[in-house]
Chains A and B, each alone.
Chain A
Amino acid sequence: MRLLLVEDEVRLARNIKKGLETIPSFAVDICHDGVDGQHQALTITYDLLILDLMLPGADGLAILQAVRAAGSRVPVLILTARTAKEDIVRGLDFGSDDYLGKPFDMGELLARVKALIRRSHNKPDPVVRIGDLEIDTHRHLVRRGGVEHALPALEYRLLEYLAYRPGQVVSKTELLEHLYDYNWEKFSNVIEVYVSALRRKLDIEGAPRLIHTLRGQGYVLSTDAPAAGWV
């Protein structure tokens, strides 16, 4: 999952990114400025936005309004020192999904972020089950065929990303865009490497493969029988 954090306090932003990236699911982009943040939020498809309210340039609510006006349903968590009731109500009314006051507990932030992402994919259960594949998004463990795997961060991230969209075709570009922060390399064969690794670990002898390839289009995660054109 790719997250955008718009926070003008440099150290705080760095600490939040550090904390979020202890979770294998997340790659985090940071903007320290409201105008940059708004631009990035509108041009890149993020899986979640974390917005501070008091920002130089555009303030958090303006960014939120712009994002919602563009039709995006990306989950938004507002993180701010302004916790007066009116501010909270206003933030939620403008279209945010959650609100956390500063100073906050890092554990609480991580839990809320994960919950927001789960909810945005309509998967309220922290354990994602697709067929006989189980992904525990809380402990970041994967189980299939009775075997439990602790995957390296990026393999887990890729698998989780596909698992939140079972049966949907996801292009390589989309995967690249959502698995990395802005430092991502544009070499697309790194995806194939991860997919092969996942197949090696999770595919079961005799059963259809977990991750299918659609030539020229992308990848699909499904435990059903493959459709035409799936490899």
Chain B
Amino acid sequence: MRAPLSLRLRLVLLVCGLELLLVAAFAASIYWHTRHLLMASFDGSLSANAEALATLVADEGPGDGLELEFSDEVMTRFSRGDAPDLFVVLGPDRRVVERSRALSAVPDLVAAADRATPTFRDFVHAGAPYRGIVLPSHAQPEEDRDGASTTPITVFFAASRADLDADLSALVWFLVLAAAATLGLTVAASLWATRRGLAPLSALANDAARIDARCLDRRFVLDQLPSDLRPLGLSFNQLLGRLEQAFDRERRFSADAAHELRTPLAALKSGVQATLLTSPDTIADRQALGEMLDEIQRLEDLCESLLSLTAATEQPGADRSLPPTDLVAAIQQVAESLRPLAATTRSAIAVRVDPLPAAALAIDATATRRIVANLVRNALVHGGAGVAVEVLVSAAVGPGVVVMVTDNGAGISAELAPRLFQRFARGDASRTRATGGAGLGLAISRALAQQWGGTLTHRAGTPGGCCFVWTIAALSQEAARTTLP
């Protein structure tokens, strides 16, 4: 589904659409008005010329009929140029009294014209556009006659309308260009104006983007927002209030859970340790107490794992970053600290570092150590004896870094693979203590990785063994993910 248009574009299109309509209407009315004036003027001149011609037609009486008397210069006017004026004078019987040289025949329109009223007609003569008037009129009576007899005549006069058409055409072009220019300016002006006008909205979006779970007590100051945005600001504030409450509930739950789990453990552990300090030296008793301490330690570790898993899934990643060099240092520390464990099974841990981008990473040292320690320890504990574990730190395809922990050990069974990252998932169905821990390590590692915007996945090694891939986002990627567009 296509994304909706941005507000700015919408506003600009609306304004320009409306303006287009207005400008079109305006331009059309200007055009028609001007055309009307021009036509009226042209037609007026046609009428004047036709009437002038009519006054030159004399009725010589029944014998000689009608005569058109004008001088030769006037006559030449009608043959001048390549679009000369044309005229035809017809008598009452439609006989041609006189016509201009350029006209070889009487145009049909003259014959067909209404005898009673003057009519204007457009036509083409010798390839040129003309407009003419067919004027019913009367011949001038003989001077010495009484004004009684007035012979009806039809005067046809036409002039080239090429100039007229050119003027009209120029007018159209002018209007079109003016409209286009106006629209273009309007588009530009509205784009600029809407950006400025919508600035409070961008500011609101930026402010909202800066709010995250660590500062949910912030609220928008409604008085500082323009009145249109106040409802939005109010909704935001209400949403933040609800979020803050939800986070508080979660935080309280985690704190309460921690307290309830840890307090009895503390009583148990302190009791055993105090007894060991103050009491009997019988070996059996010390041994029994030592075993109790071991079990308590196991419970304690499980309790801490569960609590850290809860923390990782509920609380947001902290606002820290790590330069790639510190990441590598933390990984090397972990490898160093686990070498003694590796030595007990004749296994080896190697850390390889490829060239890395310089950008700071969205992760912190503690999380790094937890994740890498978990992955390496898993390889040592579950891979068998004489395992080679390699931690490879390299640049990701995009920004960010990839940490791959590979081993050539026993690998992960097909049965375990689909539930590998689930809580309490273990390879040993009998869940024997000797073969591993509680099964929370990978769940915690993945939750930690995701909390920081990264991923943790597994693929089978080649050949055999395991390959865990931990991607760490670069800090700007993480910031971009949480910023509103």
Contacts and interface: CB of A to CB of B under 8 A. Distances in A.
Contacts of A197: none
A103 B262 contact: yes
A81 B264 CA distance: 10
Contacts of A87: 255
Given A12-B266, A82-B258, A22 B278 contact: yes
In the complex, which of the residues A9, A18, A81, A84 has the most CB atoms of chain B within 10 Å of its own CB atom? A81
Contact of B263 (A12, A16, A105, A106): A12
Interface string A82-93: 111001000000
22 contacts: A9-B263, A12-B266, A12-B270, A12-B271, A15-B271, A15-B273, A16-B270, A16-B274, A19-B274, A19-B278, A81-B261, A82-B255, A82-B258, A87-B255, A101-B262, A103-B266, A103-B269, A103-B300, A105-B269, A105-B273, A106-B277, A107-B273
Given A82-B255, A103-B265, 13 more contacts: A11-B267, A12-B266, A12-B267, A12-B270, A15-B267, A15-B273, A19-B277, A19-B278, A84-B251, A84-B254, A102-B266, A103-B268, A104-B270
Dominant SS at the B interface? helix
A125 to B, nearest CB: 25
A54 interface: yes
A19 B270 contact: yes
Interface string B266-307: 111111011101100000000000000000100010000000
Given A11-B267, A15-B267, A102-B265, A81 B273 contact: no
Contact of B273 (A9, A19, A83, A102): A19
B271 A11 contact: yes
Contacts of B278: 18-19, 22
A153 B321 CA distance: 52
B259 interface: yes
In the complex, which of the residues B254, B261, B275, B277 has the most CB atoms of chain A within 10 Å of its own CB atom? B277
A101 B263 CA distance: 10
A82 B252 CA distance: 11
Interface of B: 251, 254-255, 258-259, 261-263, 265-271, 273-275, 277-278, 296, 300
A106 B262 contact: no
In the complex, which of the residues A19, A103, A105, A107 has the most CB atoms of chain B within 10 Å of its own CB atom? A103
A83 B265 CA distance: 15
A105 B259 CA distance: 17
Nearest to A23: B277
A104 to B, nearest CB: 7
Contacts of B261: 81
B355 to A, nearest CB: 35
A81 B262 contact: yes
Interface in A44-103: 54, 81-84, 87, 101-103
B264 to A, nearest CB: 8
Nearest to A22: B277
A147 B59 CA distance: 169
A11 B264 CA distance: 9
Contacts of A19: 270, 273-274, 277-278
A103 B265 CA distance: 6
A106 B278 CA distance: 12
A104 B263 CA distance: 10
A21 to B, nearest CB: 8
Nearest to A101: B262
Contacts of A101: 262
Given A18-B278, A22-B277, A22-B278, A106 B270 contact: yes
Nearest to A83: B258
B274 A54 contact: no
Interface string A1-30: 000000001011001101100100000000
In the complex, which of the residues B259, B268, B270 has the most CB atoms of chain A within 10 Å of its own CB atom? B270
A104 B297 CA distance: 10
Contacts of A16: 270, 274
